[in-house]
Amino acid sequence: MGPVPTDDGPEDALQAVVRALGASARESNLARTGVLEEALAALDAGALSGELRECAVSAAHQVVGSAGTFGKHRSSALAAELEQWFREVAPPGPDPARLGWARGRLGELRADLASDHQDDV
């Protein structure tokens, strides 16, 4: 995607580009939450593989960098919590309360990513 032509200065043009790319980033980041959901389901079933755990860590990590850069700072912070949580979780998995906490955070993350608001750009 090339620069968006505007009559304003480079900062204004850049903001327009960031907003345009942010729409695509939202879809990418929502898709990444699917990996987190899959990993939580596997954990709940006592079947979280090392590979899926690493995929969950990677997916959350990508959301941290992407969401915040495109103005979704709340999403970035939630994803960082989930990334750390998946790094630390170990078989056979957490107790139900901790699992519930992670599900809650994931729900918040999805809702924030799906919303139209941006904290700032």
Write the Ramachandran bin of 74: left for phi over 0, alpha for psi from -120 to 50, otherwise beta.
alpha
**Nearest Cα to 38, choosing from 24, 27, 25, 53?**
53
**Nearest Cα to 75, choosing from 31, 41, 16, 26?**
26
Q: Which is nearer to another protein, 74 or 110 (CB)?
A: 74
Check residue 52 for interaction with another protein (CB under 8 A). Answer: no
Among 68, 98, 99, 103, binds another protein (CB under 8 A): 68
Among 38, 58, 94, 118, binds another protein (CB under 8 A): 58
The single-letter code of the amino acid at 115 is S
Residue 2 DSSP code: P
Counting every residue, how long is the chain? Answer: 121
Q: How far is the CB of 21 from another protein (least distance, A)?
A: 5
Q: Which is nearer to another protein, 42 or 121 (CB)?
A: 121
Check residue 118 for interaction with another protein (CB under 8 A). Answer: no
Site residues for another protein per CB under 8 A: 1, 3, 9-11, 13-15, 17-18, 21, 24-25, 28, 58, 61-62, 64-70, 73, 76, 80, 83-84, 87, 121
